[in-house]
Structure 1
Amino acid sequence: MLSSIGRAAIRRLVSTSATTAPRCIAVSRPITYGRGFIQGFATTGQPKAASTTTKATTKTSKPKATKTTKATKTTKGTTKATATKGKTKKATATKAKTKSKKKAAPKSKAKAKGKKGARKRKPMSPENKAILEKRALKKTALFREPKQLPDGAWTVFVAEHTKGETIGPERIRARMGDLSQSYKTISASEKQRLADIAAQNKLKNAAAYKAWVESHPPEQTVEANRARGVLKRKHNYPKGVLKLIHDERVPKKPVSAFSLFTKARWASGDFANRPFLDVSREIGREWARLPDVERHAYEDLGKASREDYEKEYEAVLHRKPAPRRSTTPSA
């Protein structure tokens, strides 16, 4: 039989809640309680199993949570990886941009240097300007005209007797002296033969020259003559008589009223056997004293000639001519 102290301890155990942890009780004597007591004690011990089942369920539910956490961790890892990749791409892009800017920087520096160098260039000297102007005018002047055949009996004779020879400047005078002596001794038939060849060469030269002129538009031949005049006036090139391009397509300049009056006065025969300068001065005085009725007649003729010239000039050269200059002498 248990003592009063042991019975009190057992009652305490039975009255405790099912959730409390089991305790081991050391009993010195064998228990002689009935079956009901043992069953009650067993029922009181059942919560221990329930607690174990709850623990098991919690343990079994934990792996699912771990899976989701792992999934979230993997997604976080992928997002972090993509973010890091994006950052690396941006970094490489920014590096490439900075490299391109660095590479482009020398060009901008070179441009800046070029601008500075252009600012620091010395002004061109008048001699260099004249050389460049002369070179440009030569290109515009069209000096490459077709080579002319000898168009005189003497020149044909010289060309035949010097064909294939190279005459230097030191021998040319002596050679021309010998040829002139032999030319004087040739027969009349030989001179006629040379004259016929010269006449044929003139026709060939005229045809070749016309074909060369017409190979250029009229605007170009007009500009070429202007360039030749500037070259002769400013640079004295070429030396000798100024030769202009004769283009029949370009309209001739109009005749002024004073020019018409001058031609009429020269044709009258009143100034025969008189010096040219004296006659031109006298005609100028007569023009200044000319009555208005006669002056208007010449002016009308000059105006009509000017109008025809402007129409033809614009049709051929596709531009208006320069304004006319007054050639009327002062009173």
Structure 2
Amino acid sequence: MLARSLICRLAADAPKTKTSAHDLPQLARLLQRSILNRNGLTPPAANARARAGKSALVHYRRSYATATATVKKPAAKKPAATKPTATVKKAVKTTAASKTPAAAAKKKKAPAAKKKPAAKKKPAAKKKKPTVKPKAKRAKKELTPDEKERAKVREYKAKALQPPSRSPVSGYMVFVGEALKGTTNATGPQATRMQATTQKWKSLTPAELEHYNHIAQERTEARQAEFDAWVLSHTPEQITAANTARNHLRRIRRTSSGRSIGPQYVAKLQDPRHVVRVQTSYIRFMTERYASNDLKNIKFADAAKLISNEWKALSASEKEKYNNAYAVEKQARTQT
């Protein structure tokens, strides 16, 4: 009882802190000292009291251990486990390594290496464009006189135009066309067939000849109408240029030997829109002399000299007829 009361007093005198089973030996030593000091340090009594105190302490220890074992503390809630990211793991490793003395020594010994500046990239060299050599101009081939003339003929033919044919159709042509219509695959030479056709033409009656002539006249008129429509489909300037080119072709055909230029490129194109100049008195006289057929089979140069001499030999009264005709036509043109 005495030991228990002492322990309770010591517990009350001690500062108000949490005590545990680890503080009991200190309490026991403190109790022994206090008892010895109090009772005059008598060995028999001190030993008896020490044994009593030890037994009380043992009993107190057992009672304290059982009390603490029966009382269970509530389990603290553990936070939800989260997987540490790679960056957290790296940070933990680095901090753990830095805490070790070896790592600290390495840090002190090894100075931080200076980072080398990144090498600047050289700009890519610009690709040079391949130089293309200009093609050498071919030397123009010199044309021969014959080749030059052929080139002119091609140029004039392109300007001359090619109208539909307006040549008149005869009754004989109509008869021959009907007679040879279905004999393209006939046997025998063509000359003999033409001779037989000509004999038949001569043996025709006047009524039959009149029939073929009438058909020929209709075809001639149809050709002329087609030609006039073709002329009007072009401008007067185009017809004038075509006639100029036809004049050049006519001269080439006369001067060149062996040159084949068809009549379709030589004949003059008649355009009703073309304004004809008023004929002078001398031109009227010359036209009248050619129409008389007195100068037939005479060269043009010689005929022109004869007409000129005749015109000079005329008197004023004889020339008055031609002068009056010229004045009347000229006045009519000016009024229109």
Greater Rg by CA: 2
TM-score (norm 1): 0.50
